[in-house]
Structure 1
Amino acid sequence: MAGKRRLTEQELALWQAVATTVTPLKPKRQKKAALKAEAVAETKPAGPQPPAKRPKSPPKGPPPAPKPVATAAPKLPPLTPYPAPGTMPGIDKRQSERFRRGQLAIEGKIDLHGRTQTEAHDALLHFLERAFKHGKRQLLVITGKGMTQSKSGILKANVPRWLNEPVFRRLVLAISQARPEHGGEGALYVLLKRQK
């Protein structure tokens, strides 16, 4: 059997984004409920059944107010460092192109070189929160390219995945690979949402 193919960074980021939206099933509860239903069906006598109870009359007075239905938050498409032109939700095509080409003014940058994953994750979150609070929109996140050409950098692979986590998605509107003059493969443009 041939060796398994490794996922690309883009496939990994997409998978992580989808995996965070899934709620696991609870198979034990489903099996117990099915077994209980079967046991009740088997224990019911085959003879005549008691008469059905009359439904209660409706209560007097105004009907109760309907309970508000909780709606799930809309699922956001995953952020990718290589967005197709015009596919960034929340951004018009012209601004999307300017963002991808690095033509928007960079209002802040962070360099994650030399940090552990935990340090980099926390520093990135604090940086984005501060920038959002101050109304900044276009940021540059420098991840580095990694140690060698054969091995991709850990931060380079993980930062797009982190930016798809709910704690980051509340702040981040879009990401894109930086242009060579801003770091190329070792950096990302991050576009923050506008404050409401």
Structure 2
Amino acid sequence: MSRRAPPEPSTDDIALFRDAVGPVRRIETEAPAPEKPRPRPRAHMREADEAAVAGDLLRAEYDPALIEIGEELSYLREGHSPKLLRRLKRGQFSIQGETDLHHMNAEAARTSILDLLDEAHTEGWRCVRIVHGKGLRSRPGGPVLKGLTDRLLRRRSDVLAFASARPAQGGTGATVVLLR
């Protein structure tokens, strides 16, 4: 079935239309507003995994003999060169982010550490510092936040190494963490 084009309007019809409508002017169109950038994707399963171990970390038995006040923390994930840990201890990595856990309870400190590690992952940071203090005012159980930091970092698969900071960066009261 073929369609025919509509007939051309007559000059009388055109004049009648223009009288009915009146004078017209062209409306300038504006360019559409640019789209807002989309947020970066979040690792929901990773967050769920981290939330699942929260109770385990807080209930974990703590042996104060493991970490004496003032003792240096040091850890290197298996399969990596000891040179990596030596470079970290010498301060040869630029610190790109940090969190200070002073005056926090264990749960708030754990959340702060996880937030820092998530931000580091999102931003592509390789080295961060966690200031936990030396635990000088801790109860007989030892430095709580220092022990929590040690246990939490050892369980993270994205942590390659960590060590107590150099004296100018907080000494044994801070830990420098190297991430994948």
User: Which category describes the TM-score, using the shorter chain as reference length?
Assistant: 0.5 to 0.7
The one-letter code sitting in structure 2 at the alignment partner of 1:162 is L
Show CA shifts across 1:18-45 (max 9, x none).
xxxxxxxxxxxxxxxxxxxxxxxxxxxx
Cα distance in structure 1, aligned partners of 2:112 and 2:131: 12
- Give the count of matched residue pairs: 114
Match of 1:144 among 113, 133, 136: 133
State the TM-score, normalizing by the size of structure 2. Answer: 0.55
Residue pairs, 1:65-104, within 5 angstroms: 81-83=73-75, 88-104=77-93
Q: Please, what is the CA RMSD of the aligned residues?
A: 2.5
Change (3 A) 1:7 1:123: closer
Q: CA deviation at 1:172?
A: 1.2
Q: CA deviation at 1:186?
A: 0.6
Residue of structure 2 equivalent to 1:192: 179
- Runs of at least 4 residues off by over 6 Å: none
Q: Secondary structure at the match of 2:74?
A: coil
Structure 2: gaps of 5 or more residues: 1-62
Residue of structure 1 equivalent to 2:165: 178
Cα distance in structure 1, aligned partners of 2:102 and 2:67: 21
Larger Rg: 2
Contact kept, 8 Å, 1:88 with 1:96, in 2: the verdict is no
Q: CA deviation at 1:149?
A: 8.4
Residue of structure 2 equivalent to 1:123: 112
Change (3 A) 1:117 1:139: same
Residue of structure 2 equivalent to 1:112: 101
State the TM-score, normalizing by the size of structure 1. Answer: 0.51
The one-letter code sitting in structure 2 at the alignment partner of 1:115 is M
Contact kept, 8 Å, 2:138 with 2:144, in 1: the verdict is no
* % identical aligned pairs: 33
